[in-house]
Structure 1
């Protein structure tokens, strides 16, 4: 027995080794052993963070051994921070098990994140397959599609920013919030989703062990949520060493230092202010690898906030950035996309409408009701009121130039989709407009507002029997696309409800209004310019004072909603014809205004009867542009004289 006391330290040491917590390991070190890339060029391989060193610091700041509680990342697209988010969550499952939440902005984003990223990463990792309970288990403790369960009795919840039930579900220690600029400002009149998420972490405030991160590409300057978070932090930038003079305070900035040609191959390069010696595009990636994060606005109490863009990204060549900028031109919608997704910066909108008197002065002498030579798309928007229907037909060219063709108010009752003002709208729908080449054109499509005006069912019924008529509903917010994903809605006809009897298309009106007002501000040949610029708006002499007053009847107002500064559109008077124009723009986008290639425009020109001499003869013609409007109704529309209308699928 004399040997037993001597064995106690050995036994105790063995048990201590078994039950002691694992040695600290930051997420970046853990990832190199256990995180397999779910997609991309190196799919199913262990991650090598030496290839993306910009991820390491923010990733490790979210580890359990780091003192940081909160951080924000304002980023460009394709900057790999979604990978950072996955690693932080999976590292916590293994090394710091606790209740967590990952919040995505939309149902589709949540589904894609789970199926294409997080779910695959779990399946690829032997460690994670052991740690995360499978969905196939019959136990009540098994995982579900949107709740990953693991011991000891913890879970990672995948939540929607648009679901009050998700955001009020349970107390959490860690919250990882993705693409926060797409979160609603006010969720079902219950407050800001970010405030609701923050309330889930109150129990951990005293211990100081909570973690909260915000990731997002920005949207509109002055209203972007991630911009506000970034500005509140210490504003870290990826800071590199100049390969020529050794200056260690080099940051790639959009502006005068970034040079490129306006034509391919663009020859993009950077002239650093430290020494003025050119850094060529092929040198970018080696310079990136010398970088580290440096705060540009340090201060007491500030959390870490990061800005990272394609100029510094190891994934995006500079020539590609130059190409994207040149292709955006002065189109405000494309520039916003470039600013947000490539530069990772909020876009500053110019939301002031021009003076209507100036627009009156620059009217032109083209004939109302006749489609001009370059107006290859012919669309219309209609705004339904109780006393009648406002409508405008607009023609668009390949560069976004537009011509007002016809506008009118159809007076009459709107309670019956077959009578009154709707009967006049039906005549307008079938109208044949003469074109510049002696032919006739019917509307390619018409968007009719079925919003909250009390005439939704009438609009649905009107559109059901007309394949080129679309029931639409305006959607507010700066992230809503020009034309969104349609939904099936119920229709009440003759007192009976028809389940999913009509299709309703959401229209993102806010960005379209910004685009329209930017185009209205442009000067063309009427003001002495050599050419009319892309997006220029043409108006005939029949566009009178009332017309222009309605089209300029809104402005961008800066306001405060629940303590957050934002920009909203504010009406100054009747705006029915503005709504008609916005709906017409949405229909043009539906047909492919911003997507069609030069070759496809050439095919369309031939089909619209443009004489061959006016169409570039050397353009390769792809397959003929497909007929029609709604996929289920292809072939039922009969364009005049064989003219075809576009399919959205191009």
Structure 2
């Protein structure tokens, strides 16, 4: 029999063990919790295992903000593949284990919410012992747990879609985690903005609430995360130069990110260096990574408030901060006013997972496509896409004209297409020459006056599109495709014209703008049929085409240098009115059925825009051709070795010494002579 003293000792130990088990875990920051408990699942990362915040130094700022007592809202405008989703998972795990609370995890749609729960959260729960012990498996019976609903001691976690108003507006939640908010619908089933609906559920918790948003931005006019970041204290991460110690925000610019080219002008991304804005020294990749890892030892981890503020009767741009990165008034030394909303901006320049050379390659690959360039700006730089209006001033475009005509086109021109607009009293047509990497030269813009209900003006158009373009290296090119607008009063004439010339790839088209279902392809996958005649009709994504065109117009070509996607204009013949028409529209964002829709509209009511329409239809004609056609025409074989089968059937070789035909004057149906070359608007 154990003695009384031994029995008392055993009871004391049991009481201590019970008290230890019931004692809440010590209060930790999110960084401390993740470093101590979080385990990354194998299926979710190339580097599974224990989480270490030091591997992603830029994550310290947003993660530490969660437990700031005066912070209730966090908005993180960040690039992809660096921190967003993992931070949200960390926050969910923190509140499940460290500070039990009701949590709402919002994805753009209910389907994505289910996928995130199954593919991201469930593996994390399985891999992290403290979460596995608290959150029952969704497969277990009678646990009250489903794919989208989790229960644990002291709280619940619900995964919902922003398109599900009932789920958004139900029970109160102290913590709201909103992922990819730029993809949320503008209206949740007629109940209003889904982000506001979700976060309204935390309002009763007042200063104990935590609302966290994370997303890559989109367009300036419609980006939610950009709007929320502007409303925050706008924290940016300052990195010390490894050469001079100057602390700076890492920015993508032609002064800071520089690399070499070889003797042939080819880019060499592996030579890239980030250059200090203070001393100008270039950082090697090892130095950039070392500078980023140095953030771990800074008291503010590099993150500082940058939003302008008012104090002592003056507006201040933050230039002094305390050890926590809070802005200080330079006059009185007091902290800047803070409304509890912390904002963070993170680009791939801060990534320790991406080499700077890879970011340069991504940028170079984006130069050939406006859509890819927009994606790079949004997802790599974490910046909103802004329209380049400065380069689209008609006078600026007119000032970029070059010395060539359609009778002396540059040798870089490989193929010719045209686009035509139909009015009651005239036809207008633009001819474009395309070269490598979709570089384009405007060759001609012609106006054919006459009643378009009569055949005579259409005969003139037929003659016009048969006229060749002559290049300076002795080639003669005729259009390989063309698109004619069939909308308006002359649809039957357009279809009749195109029907007889379908073998020449001349298509009847109509413009189709963006709508709430999204943007449209410039060239459709297939044609529709007209109701009466059964003729083919191709719907052109005019808003998408104008996005691409205006992005190309913003590229200023340099003399003697290839300029992918750039647009060139001839020196003579194009009047100022041509450029006014080409730039007659601007992009606007309209809300349709609760969804932001980006469309192009004329700047002034009644403004003429035929030059723009013709250009867009010519772009569509180019896209109607197989992409391999460009490569075939760009073959490096000497011209005199070309066989007939080596070139397009619409390309005719002529001797370089052949005389250039004299320009001709055509007459309209009324018998008035009209210039057959440039100057249609003079």
TM-score range, shorter chain: 0.5 to 0.7
1:581 aligns with 2:615: yes
Q: 1:355 aligns with which of 382, 394, 400?
A: 394
Q: 1:154 aligns with which of 156, 160, 163?
A: 156
Offset at residue 537 of structure 1 (A): 3.5
1:316 aligns with 2:389: no
Q: TM-score, normalised by structure 1?
A: 0.66
Aligned to 1:52: 56
Three-state SS of the structure 1 residue aligned to 2:81 is coil
Deviation string for 1:567-608 (max 9, x for gaps)? 986532244553553465477679898xx9xxx9534534xx
Deviating more after overlay: 305-314 vs 581-590? 581-590
Offset at residue 412 of structure 1 (A): 11
- Is the contact between residue 484 and residue 506 of structure 1 (CA under 8 Å) also seen in structure 2? yes
- Is the contact between residue 38 and residue 121 of structure 1 (CA under 8 Å) also seen in structure 2? no
1:272-287 alignment to 2 at 5 Å? 272=276, 279-287=283-291
Offset at residue 159 of structure 1 (A): 1.9
Offset at residue 493 of structure 1 (A): 6.0
- Is the contact between residue 136 and residue 143 of structure 2 (CA under 8 Å) also seen in structure 1? no
Aligned to 2:66: 62
Task: Give, in whole Å, the separation in 2 of the partners of 1:387 and 1:110.
Answer: 56
Task: Give, in whole Å, the separation in 2 of the partners of 1:143 and 1:386.
Answer: 64
Aligned to 2:514: 475
Three-state SS of the structure 1 residue aligned to 2:289 is helix
The 1:387/1:166 distance shift into structure 2, 3 A limit, reads farther
Task: Give, in whole Å, the separation in 1 of the partners of 2:58 and 2:486.
Answer: 47
Larger of the two Rg values belongs to structure: 2
Offset at residue 173 of structure 1 (A): 2.8
Deviation string for 1:214-268 (max 9, x for gaps)? 22333455765434433433333333455456x4845544454554334425533
Offset at residue 343 of structure 1 (A): 3.2
The 1:591/1:277 distance shift into structure 2, 3 A limit, reads same
The 1:175/1:41 distance shift into structure 2, 3 A limit, reads closer
Q: 1:403 aligns with which of 436, 439, 442?
A: 442
Offset at residue 508 of structure 1 (A): 3.5
Deviating more after overlay: 208-217 vs 270-279? 270-279
1:502-541 alignment to 2 at 5 Å? 508=544, 511-512=547-548, 514-519=550-555, 522=556, 533-534=563-564, 535-538=566-569
Task: Give, in whole Å, the separation in 1 of the partners of 2:484 and 2:133.
Answer: 53
The 1:249/1:518 distance shift into structure 2, 3 A limit, reads closer
Three-state SS of the structure 2 residue aligned to 1:28 is helix
Task: Give, in whole Å, the separation in 2 of the partners of 1:507 and 1:337.
Answer: 17
Task: Give, in whole Å, the separation in 1 of the partners of 2:283 and 2:290.
Answer: 11
Q: 1:343 aligns with which of 368, 381, 386?
A: 381
1:239 aligns with 2:233: no
Aligned to 1:605: 634
1:245-394 alignment to 2 at 5 Å? 247=245, 249=247, 251-255=249-253, 256-262=255-261, 263-264=267-268, 267-272=271-276, 279-291=283-295, 292-297=301-306, 298=327, 299-302=336-339, 303-324=341-362, 336-351=374-389, 353-355=392-394, 359=398, 362=401, 366-367=405-406, 374-376=412-414, 394=432
Superposed CA RMSD: 6.0
1:46-195 alignment to 2 at 5 Å? 46-62=50-66, 67-95=70-98, 96-104=100-108, 113=116, 117-122=120-125, 124-125=127-128, 128=131, 141-144=144-147, 147-151=148-152, 154-160=156-162, 167-168=168-169, 171-183=172-184, 191-195=192-196
Offset at residue 312 of structure 1 (A): 2.6
The 1:119/1:11 distance shift into structure 2, 3 A limit, reads closer
Offset at residue 88 of structure 1 (A): 1.7
1:203 aligns with 2:198: no
Structure 2 unaligned blocks of 5 or more? 262-266, 296-300, 307-326, 328-335, 653-682
Structure 1 unaligned blocks of 5 or more? 414-418, 495-500, 618-624, 626-638, 644-650
Offset at residue 372 of structure 1 (A): 8.0
Aligned to 2:216: 217
Task: Give, in whole Å, the separation in 2 of the partners of 1:549 and 1:111.
Answer: 51
Deviation string for 1:406-456 (max 9, x for gaps)? 77899999xxxxx999xx9xx99xx8886764576643x869899xx9x9x
Task: Give, in whole Å, the separation in 2 of the partners of 1:107 and 1:511.
Answer: 31
Three-state SS of the structure 2 residue aligned to 1:268 is strand
- Is the contact between residue 75 and residue 308 of structure 1 (CA under 8 Å) also seen in structure 2? yes
Aligned to 1:629: none
The 1:481/1:447 distance shift into structure 2, 3 A limit, reads farther
Deviation string for 1:504-524 (max 9, x for gaps)? 9796467335315425xx478
Offset at residue 131 of structure 1 (A): 5.1
The 1:200/1:508 distance shift into structure 2, 3 A limit, reads farther
Task: Give, in whole Å, the separation in 1 of the partners of 2:220 and 2:447.
Answer: 37
Task: Give, in whole Å, the separation in 1 of the partners of 2:375 and 2:422.
Answer: 32
Task: Give, in whole Å, the separation in 1 of the partners of 2:539 and 2:156.
Answer: 42
Task: Give, in whole Å, the separation in 2 of the partners of 1:320 and 1:220.
Answer: 24
Q: Alignment length, in residue pairs?
A: 576
Three-state SS of the structure 1 residue aligned to 2:271 is coil
Task: Give, in whole Å, the separation in 2 of the partners of 1:484 and 1:44.
Answer: 43
Deviation string for 1:176-215 (max 9, x for gaps)? 233444556667876544333333333333xx22211222
- Is the contact between residue 540 and residue 620 of structure 2 (CA under 8 Å) also seen in structure 1? no
Task: Give, in whole Å, the separation in 2 of the partners of 1:276 and 1:282.
Answer: 17
- Is the contact between residue 432 and residue 442 of structure 1 (CA under 8 Å) also seen in structure 2? no
Offset at residue 289 of structure 1 (A): 0.7
Aligned to 2:667: none
Three-state SS of the structure 1 residue aligned to 2:550 is helix
Aligned to 2:228: 229
